[in-house]
Amino acid sequence: MIFKNISLFYNSNYKNQIFYFALEEVMKMEIKIAEEPDVPVVYRLMLEAFEEYRSLDVPSSAINESLELLQIAIKSNSEKALLCLINGDPLGSCRFTMKEDTLYFSRVSVTPSARGKGIAKAMLLWLEKYASDNFKGKMACRVRVSLPKNISLYKSMGYFVTKEEVVTNPNGFLVKTVVMEKTLGAQNISIS
């Protein structure tokens, strides 16, 4: 594990919110809300991360999403994106929306060469703080049943399966999924 000591610094003004994680003095992690010029990078990271799902029986619809649709969603503020940089290099991203009392996240993306270094967890912790600061009581996501590593990651962070559903993805295929949620501010204990 790369992280021996993690220090968290942030600017509390969310318009320009940037979290800095100092990692072992040689790695600097920066997590920020993506701005319009960052959208092509968020998109590229998603494609790199989701490429491995192209060969699934039902390929991920992320592979077919267009940059233009993501740009419209970010510009219209119907969706936001995070960008995670290590030593200035963009290595992770995810997207999110806030509805009622829940922050819903999706497309958690870490470039394959950077996996296993805590980037996804750091982005989710950032989102949990952002959700709490914006008076949201829950975090939620939808995960394919066929991706047990992703489900395990979320369970390790206190998320619970609250619903199992078969949904039709944007490509028109049926996909077995679970909805996972975490109540913020409460003690979340995962029993595996």
Q: Is residue 66 included in any domain, yes or no? A: yes
> In this predicted model, what pLDDT tens digit does every residue of 166-176 receive, in sequence order?
999 887 889 99
Q: Is residue 1 included in any domain, yes or no? A: no
Q: Give the H or E element holding residue 71.
A: helix 67-75
Burial 125-150 (b: 16+ CB within 10 A, else e): bbbbebbeeeebebbbbebbeeeeeb
Count structural domains, the chain. 1
Residue among 113, 175, 112, 170 at smallest CA distance from 145: 175
Question: For tokens 């003004």, what's the residue?
Answer: 13
Query: For residue 164, what are the contacts with CB-CB under 8 A and spacing of at least 6?
Result: 145, 176, 177, 178, 179
Q: Is residue 156 included in any domain, yes or no? A: no
Domain that holds residue 80: 6-139
Give me the DSSP letters along 86-99.
ETTEEEEEEEEEEE
Query: For residue 62, what are the contacts with CB-CB under 8 A and spacing of at least 6?
Result: 46, 47, 50, 53, 107
> In this predicted model, what pLDDT tens digit does every residue of 117-161 receive, in sequence order?
999 999 999 999 999 999 999 999 999 999 999 999 999 999 999
Predicted local distance difference test score (pLDDT) of residue 2: 42
Q: Is residue 146 included in any domain, yes or no? A: no
Predicted local distance difference test score (pLDDT) of residue 21: 54
Q: Is residue 192 included in any domain, yes or no? A: no
Q: Is residue 30 included in any domain, yes or no? A: yes
Strand partners, 28: 22
Q: Coil, strand, or helix at residue 118?
A: coil
78, pLDDT greater than 50: yes
> In this predicted model, what pLDDT tens digit does every residue of 16-75 receive, in sequence order?
555 555 544 467 999 999 999 999 999 999 999 999 888 777 768 888 899 999 999 999
Q: Is residue 133 included in any domain, yes or no? A: yes
CATH code of 86's domain: 3.40.630.30
Helix pair 119-133, 148-156: axis angle to 10 deg: 50
Q: Is residue 188 included in any domain, yes or no? A: no
Q: Coil, strand, or helix at residue 50?
A: helix
Predicted local distance difference test score (pLDDT) of residue 188: 53
Task: Tell me the average pLDDT across 92-106.
Answer: 96
